[in-house]
Amino acid sequence: MRPVSKFKPGDTIEIEGCTEQIKEEYDPYRDARKPLIENLGRYCSYCETNLPLYAHNEVEHIVPKKRHPESETKWENFLVGCNACNNNGAKAEKSIIADPEYIGAHLPHLNNTFLSFKYEEGGFVKVNDDLPEESKKHAKRLFNLVKLGAYGSTATPADNRWKNRMEAWNLANRHLNKTSDVDTIVDLAKGYGYWSVWFTVFKEYPEVRKELIERFPGTAQECFDPENGYEPIHRNPDNASDPV
Ligand SMILES: [Zn+2]
């Protein structure tokens, strides 16, 4: 899962040629849509799918608005989300600040979530087994929260994330074998989404990884080491129990 850097209230951004400031609150919350997309790109913050232009529900509440109405309009509670992650996951009915099962779940704007999971052959995704115990627990909570591992018969009929991820994996591998130029690869990745799939497949190509980091809006650059092939590094090194 691509780690992202979110703008903070007071930051200035350009939207359609106008300079705007990020606000603490957006009421109605849908007004946060343009600044969010400008900040993070048109990709689901969890499954990384490229959201269609006509999608109208991209503003994702990290803490569910039904259970925590006080957080409904707060910028700090927003990410970009697709229907599958929002509705098919456990998020719809669970609270990530009240349910012990989800407290401390990794989140893409706070943790290096590229370290939280591993993407494998066929776009299969799993919790990274190499993490320290506490980190693994928190990665697993996010995994369960949005049902990231739903695959084949375990996915609901409306949940095509695993199929799309598999297609992205196959597409990325076709271009790996064809040694396509960097621009073509990054353009395809941007059009298709599933950043982590491309970033994994092109592990041995730092020039591709660099462009994937720089050309997807809002990627948390500090999460990757340019001196070491853009391998992921800890985002919270001062947190001894969960440095991820
Ligand atoms: Zn999603």
> Looking at residue 55, what is its pLDDT?
65
> Looking at residue 66, what is its pLDDT?
80
Q: How far is the CA of 44 from the centre of ligand 1 (A)?
A: 5
Q: How far is the CA of 70 from the centre of ligand 1 (A)?
A: 24
> Looking at residue 175, what is its pLDDT?
94
pLDDT per residue as tens digits for the range 200-224: 999 999 999 999 999 999 999 999 9
Answer yes or no: is pLDDT of 100 > 90.
no
Q: How far is the CA of 146 from the centre of ligand 1 (A)?
A: 8
Q: How far is the CA of 46 from the centre of ligand 1 (A)?
A: 5
**CB of 99 within 8 A of CB of 150?**
no
Q: How far is the CA of 125 from the centre of ligand 1 (A)?
A: 14
Q: How far is the CA of 38 from the centre of ligand 1 (A)?
A: 18
Q: What is the mean pLDDT of residues 12-17?
A: 92
Average pLDDT of the chain?
A: 92
Q: How far is the CA of 45 from the centre of ligand 1 (A)?
A: 7
Q: How far is the CA of 171 from the centre of ligand 1 (A)?
A: 19
Q: How far is the CA of 159 from the centre of ligand 1 (A)?
A: 9
> Looking at residue 99, what is its pLDDT?
76
Q: How far is the CA of 15 from the centre of ligand 1 (A)?
A: 24
Answer yes or no: is pLDDT of 94 > 70.
no
> Looking at residue 89, what is its pLDDT?
61
Answer yes or no: is pLDDT of 90 > 70.
no
pLDDT per residue as tens digits for the range 153-163: 888 888 999 99
**CB of 147 within 8 A of CB of 141?**
no
Kindly give the residue spans of alpha helices, DSSP state H, lying in the chain: 33-40, 83, 113-116, 133-145, 161-177, 182-192, 195-201, 206-215
Q: How far is the CA of 211 from the centre of ligand 1 (A)?
A: 23
Q: How far is the CA of 108 from the centre of ligand 1 (A)?
A: 12
How distant is the alpha carbon of residue 207 from its chain centre?
22
> Looking at residue 68, what is its pLDDT?
83
237 closest CA partner among 113, 147, 112, 102:
112
Q: How far is the CA of 240 from the centre of ligand 1 (A)?
A: 30
Number of C-beta neighbours around residue 156 at 10 A: 11
How distant is the alpha carbon of residue 43 from its chain centre?
8
> Looking at residue 38, what is its pLDDT?
93
Q: How far is the CA of 120 from the centre of ligand 1 (A)?
A: 18
Q: What is the DSSP letter of 220?
A: -
| In the chain, % of residues over pLDDT 90 | 77
Q: How far is the CA of 147 from the centre of ligand 1 (A)?
A: 10
Answer yes or no: is pLDDT of 83 > 90.
no
Q: How far is the CA of 61 from the centre of ligand 1 (A)?
A: 13
pLDDT per residue as tens digits for the range 22-62: 999 999 999 999 999 999 999 999 999 999 776 666 898 88
